[in-house]
Amino acid sequence: MQYISTRGGGRPLGFCDATLAGLAADGGLFVPDTYPEFSEAELVALAGQPFEAMALAVLSRFAGGELADAELKSDIDAAMATFRHAARTPLVQIGPRDFVMELFHGPTFAFKDVAMQTLARLMDRILKARGRRATIVTATSGDTGAAAAEAFRGRDAIDLFILYPDGRVSDVQRRQMTTIADANVHTLAVAGDFDDCQRIVKALFVDRTFNERVAMSGVNSINWARVAAQITYYLFGALALGGPHRKVAFSVPTGNFGDILAGYVAGRMGLPIEKLVIATNQNDILDRTARTGRYAPGRVAPSTSPSMDIQVSSNFERLVFDLSGRDAGSVMARMADLSNGFELTDGERAAMARLFASGRADDADTARLIGEIYAETGMIVDPHTAVGLKAARETALPDGVPMVTLATAHPAKFPDAVEAGCGVVPARPAALERVMRDPERMTRVPAEIGAVADHILDHSRAVTA
């Protein structure tokens, strides 16, 4: 299997090279040249198997033989052993048709751990086999950075630089990043929003001189391996609820479009999916795009679901690539400069509407949903999950199709928003006590590419002359 750029540039790469490269050299995103498929019999055989077995089935299809199954299995097993729940991503029924899939039982209490714990081990393995070091530069609105810090801390071959928007993540999220004492983790508080952080990371990726000097890599969902690992829980959820003989719908709290793209790819691989619901907060570019066909980024507006305070949703490029019939030229023309936005064609819009629905929740809706879910079920949900639940409730489905809302974070990461919604302060898990106590360490930087590049050049051990 080869990985090609959505913008058509560069040469195709194998799985290991694409994983280390992160973003394609032309600024596009890597996608597999074809989607591997599961037969119905293979899906039937996977139903009832542990999460780890499903993850291996997914990742081995994307690794294209470059990593042995025994190596993948060892890394997946070690990654998932960090989870506190035996089922890893348990399903909880909250209504006749409605389920919540809890993705927050990993070390940092957000869905990012599912992929990040595995990816860190795979990257470490690939780098050690090549006798190489890497500099990982990642943008975060709170959760990716925390998950990356935890997964990559202390890894000798890797220096990790995390860019987060100063003042725009929750206290718990910030502390999860800034209290990591390991010297290979560098946390930068950027004077800007998440889109500024992601813009800087992408600019550094395509600056080939810088990129090669620091051996740059990335672990945002622009890295295909992140998306691939996230496909597993769609299989896990659907097969637990009667798949592949029954269609299932998923409502996905959405910002960078990585999580829901994994659901789309699961469908392309043969998993019967009725609908994928794009659930946005007031930064609703994707809901607007689904409704109007026009993708027009604005400025980020802070919300009570800060991890989704994103206006430039990177992974949407991968969907547009497929919607356009894999026309890299048209993707390049539309994505290279987003300042005026772009239109989906009528055909692209119709194709998108066949699989995707969408919804939006502002802060008042989010608080109301947190309160309603608590009153109806006793479940305390985080604000991102509440956004997903609102969109789920508004989506009509054929009889017999279950709706699974992805619970993407633990409520204790956002105690203020949760208390405002349901009047209860969520209990803080013991694992977060250290985070709230330990001293913080971060460097404040302006939202400028040069300032971030200089900091990385001064601090990464991978820098060559």
Ligand X SMILES: N[C@@H](CCOP(=O)(O)O)C(=O)O
**Residue whose CB is less far from ligand PLP, 160 or 261:** 261
Q: How far is the CB of 351 from ligand PLP (least distance, A)?
A: 20
Pairing relation of β-strands 3-5 and 30-32?
A: antiparallel
Question: Which region, judged by CB under 6 A, interacts with ligand X, from 34-42, 253-261, 344-352, 415-423?
Answer: 253-261
Q: Please give the biggest Cα pair distance in the chain.
A: 63
Residues interacting with ligand PLP, by CB under 6 A? 110, 143, 221, 253-259, 307-308, 384, 408-409
Q: Which does 257 bind (CB under 5 to 8 A by kind): ligand PLP, ligand X, none?
A: ligand PLP
Q: How far is CA 353 from CA 265, 273, 378, 393, in A?
A: 16, 13, 34, 18
Phi-psi region of 325 (alpha: psi -120 to 50; beta: other; left: phi over 0): left
**Nearer to ligand X among residue 176 and residue 330 (C-beta):** 176
The answer to whether 408 contacts ligand X (rule: CB under 6 A) is no
255 binds ligand X (CB under 6 A): yes
To ligand PLP, the closest distance from the beta carbon of 40 in angstroms equals: 28
Smallest Cα–Cα separation from 62: which of 41, 35, 29? 35
Question: From CA 460, how far away is CA 450, in angstroms rounded?
Answer: 15
Distance, C-alpha 211 to centroid of its chain: 23
Binders in 41-70 for ligand X, by CB under 6 A: none
The only residue of 90, 192, 258, 411 in contact with ligand X, by rule CB under 6 A:
258
Q: How many residues bind ligand X (CB under 6 A)?
A: 12
If the CB atoms of residues 233 and 374 are measured against ligand X, the closer one turns out to be: 233
Q: Which residues pair with 158 in a beta bridge?
A: 134
Which partner from the list ligand X, ligand PLP, none does 243 bind, CB cut-off 5 to 8 Å by kind?
none
Kind of pairing, strands 185-191 and 443-446? parallel
Interface positions, 135-154, toward ligand X (CB under 6 A): 140-145
* Site track for ligand X across 182-221, x = CB under 6 A: --------------------------------------xx
Least separation, in Å, of the C-beta of 169 and ligand X? 8
Residue 397: how many CB atoms within 10 A of its CB? 17
- Residue (303 or 307) nearer to ligand X, CB: 307
Nearest CA among 416, 410, 421, 406 for reference residue 176: 410
Q: Is 289 in the site for ligand X (CB under 6 A)?
A: no
Sequence letter at residue 307: S
Which is nearer to ligand X, 176 or 184 (by Cβ)?
176
Contact residue for ligand X among 178, 256, 324, 460 (CB under 6 A): 256
Cβ at position 143, least distance to ligand PLP in Å: 3
Q: In what order do the strands lie in the sheet with 216-217?
A: 216-217, 134-139, 158-165, 185-191, 443-446
State yes or no: is 112 an active-site residue. Answer: yes
The answer to whether the peptide bond before residue 446 is cis (omega within 30 degrees of 0) is: no
Q: Find all residues with CB under 8 Å of 157, minimum gap 6, and list them.
A: 124, 127, 128, 132, 133, 134
The first and second tokens of residue 250, run together, are: 């998923």
Contact positions with ligand X (CB under 6 A) in 302-361: 307
End-to-end CA distance of the chain: 34
140 binds, among ligand PLP, ligand X, none (CB under 5 to 8 A by kind): ligand X
Residue pointed to by tokens 């006798």 = 131
304/330 with CB nearer ligand X: 304
Point out which residues bind ligand X (CB under 6 A): 140-145, 220-221, 255-256, 258, 307
| Active-site annotation, residues | 112
